[in-house]
Structure 1
Amino acid sequence: MSFIDKPGSLPDVARDEAASIALPLQWVGMRGIALPLRLEDGSVLPASAEVAVDLPDPHAKGIHMSRLYLLLDTFASRSRLTPAALHGLLQQMRESHTDCQSRAASLRLEFALLQQRAALVTPGLAGWKSYPVTLSAQLQDTALDMRLSVRIAYSSTCPCSAALSRQALQDAFAGDFAQQDAIGHDTVLAWLARHGSLATPHSQRSEAELSIAVAGDAAHLPLRDLIDTAEASLGTAVQTAVRRADEQAFALANGANLMYVEDAARRLRQALEARFGGCAVRVSHFESLHAHDAVATTASPEWQEPLR
């Protein structure tokens, strides 16, 4: 065995050399780590992870990134995604760097949750939707901050455009029947069949980014509950498999839930606060009228952004 192959003979620059510039660093770690995540129901999803610890020792050359990677790999192979398991992983990450005087650890997971969603009215008809999820957690001394975020797609119909369309329809009806004092039922129905879509309000696919805090001692991560609460509050979640009856039901839902970007943001915050407490909401309406998007953000008074 050559000298370089002997155990313990390889140089460890991070341990044995001092930093050329003596400054502490808030976070040091890795981003874009591919790993499988095991959910509470046992299903496994591909994910991307970012891990880091602080480096308060101004003279330490660097952290030991392989320690963080191996801890994350062990977590992925043995643990299910629960608040308690994440808390334990953060503690292990920090403890693995006591020689660097680390007091904080940070973790960010990104993955897509697949959910089967039933059609609005057709029995037995369903399809799959993908919900991008971000789970971030920080452990600073004894304080744990865990945030769950999800993006959902929905449809938004402009209230102003709807009012203008109704006005155009009224004007056309009044013009066509200006000389008639009485109009028969069948005549009205026939006119509506021909001219009911004379003007239509503009609607567009929209997206909401929702964030809630999760307690470290929570029994589970409320992924599905968060999605269901948000979609129910809006009433116009985008659909998957549809038949004509479902498409009509979707049109009716849009008509019953006209909303500006401000309306959507307020609806979502009200629903999330009632169910989960503090939250943050950002909504984007990808305009079909304008060449730009409409956006709105709102957060509970007690909501604070994490350190990173």
Structure 2
Amino acid sequence: MSAVLPDVSVTDLAPMLSPLEWVGMQGIDLPVTIDEPGYHRELHATADVQVDLPAPQVKGIHMSRLYRLLDSWGQERQVSPAHIRELLNSMIESHHDCDSRSARIRLVFDLLIRRSALVTEGLSGWKSYPVQVNASLIEGAFSLSIEITIGYSSTCPCSAALSRQLIEEGFLQTFSHQPLIEPAAVAQWLRANASLATPHSQRSEARVSVSVGQEYPNLGLSVLINAVENALGTPVQTAVKRADEQAFAALNGQNLMFVEDAARRIRATLADYSNPKVHVRHLESLHPHDAAAWSATHTQGLHHGK
């Protein structure tokens, strides 16, 4: 088997002479290493990689070159702005014979973070955060953004007000004719009737995107997640006991929010990031449809988690 194998992508001309904006592969399985302060882990990712094909006569790019570069990069490099730009440069250089001048990559993975219970000491569990990293190097201009989906709980302020009104009416019906009320009697009534009406709550999600400068040493994923969860105040929990469930109920009661409130809270906490975009969804328990809000501002951020 010493015969030279044919490579029609090189020897044949394209039957229709036209450039192509992007050519490459999607859905490549890849191990990636995330290394940030307090977090170091190898994760499974899927990658999309492409280069441009401006030469109209070139029949096809060299897919195997992209695959081998990506495979080697995933084994040898942690995911950081500098290392991503390095990969994109290599992708372009590997296709000099196709006149390629631009490259892009998308990485999709779930960031696993161990979260402690709210109250119970020593109790914790894993929480998954879907992440998408998008980067491009287009004729020398590098851009990189991260998008993270963060789960939280939301309790409707309107529903809470309506519930409180019913409880108030029930209390007045019981005690309006009593000039003096013993605290023990009130406490007993509350134990039996405080849930006469309850506000509706639901699992919700925030999809947050920010730009990351190439000068930063890492993507700042955990810093961004913590900032958003702190702004919302009601992150979904992993392992819980009754004391933790009670503490979670208290957090929800103290953080009533419409979908608009959630979007504004997140936008405010992202004020120092570049090009923040927010999309929140409350997966309604009252309705068969979702409530949603969006916010986007194009700014040059002053801060990034290092």
TM-score by length of 1: 0.93
| Aligned-pair identity (%) | 52
Mapped pair 1:96 → 2:94? yes
171-180 or 74-83, larger mean C-alpha shift = 171-180
Q: 1:53-109: per-residue Cα shift (whole Å, max 9, x none)? A: 111112221111111000000101111111111110000001111111111100000
Q: Residue by residue, what CA displacement relative to the aligned partner does 1:109-168 show, whole Å, maximum 9, x if unpaired?
A: 011111111111222221111111111100011111101111111000001000000011
Instruction: Specify the alignment match of 1:283 in structure 2.
Output: 280
Give the superposition deviation at 1:43: 2.4
Q: 1:115 & 1:144 partners in 2: Cα distance?
A: 29
In 2, Cα distance between the equivalents of 1:42 and 1:254? 32
SS at match of 2:144: strand
Q: Which amino acid aligns with 1:136?
A: N
Q: CA–CA distance in 1 between the matches of 2:203 and 2:223?
A: 22
Task: Note the aligned Cα RMSD (angstroms).
Answer: 1.3
Matched, 1:23 2:18: yes
Does residue 243 of structure 1 match 2:238? no
SS at match of 2:270: helix
Aligned to 2:64: 66
Distance 1:217 1:272 in 2: 19
Q: Is the 8 A contact 1:113 1:130 kept in 2?
A: yes
Indicate if the aligned counterparts of 2:274 and 2:298 stay in contact, CA closer than 8 A: no
After superposition, what is the alpha-carbon deviation per residue over 1:5-43, rounded to whole angstroms, capped at 9, x for unaligned? 33xx22211112122222211111100100111222652
Specify every segment of 5 or more residues in structure 1 that has no aligned partner in the other structure, as ranges.
304-308
Tell me the amino acid that sits aligned with residue 217 of structure 2.
A
- Once residues 27 and 164 of structure 2 are traced to their aligned partners in structure 1, the CA distance between those partners, rounded to angstroms, is 51
Task: Give 1:270's aligned residue.
Answer: 268
Query: 2:125 and 2:212 mapped to 1: Cα distance?
Result: 29
Match of 2:7 among 5, 12, 18: 12
3-state SS, counterpart of residue 83 of structure 2:
helix
Deviation at 1:301, TM superposition (A): 3.3
Instruction: Give TM-score, length-normalised by structure 2.
Output: 0.94
Contact map agreement 2:49 2:105 (CA 8 A) in 1: yes
Aligned partner of 2:210 in structure 1 is 212
The partner residue of 1:77 within 57, 75, 78 is: 75
C-alpha distance in structure 2 between counterparts of 1:133 and 1:47, whole Å? 10
1:301 aligns with 2:295: no
How far apart are residue 178 of structure 1 and its match? 2.7
Task: Give the deviation of 1:302 after TM superposition.
Answer: 3.8
Residue segments in structure 2 that go unaligned for 5+ positions in a row: 301-306
| Separation in 2, partners of 1:260, 1:225 | 25
2:111–2:128: 8 Å Cα contact kept in structure 1? yes
Name the CA distance, whole Å, in 1 between partners of 2:296 and 2:89. Answer: 29
Kept in 2, the 8 Å contact 1:133–1:150? The answer is yes
Tell me the secondary structure at the aligned position of residue 116 of structure 1. Answer: strand
Partner of residue 138, structure 1: 136
Q: Which amino acid aligns with 1:200?
A: T
Distance (Å, rounded) in 2 between the aligned partners of 1:236 and 1:264:
11
SS of equivalent residue, structure 1 residue 43: strand
**Aligned 1:67-216 pairs, distance under 5 A:** 67-216=65-214
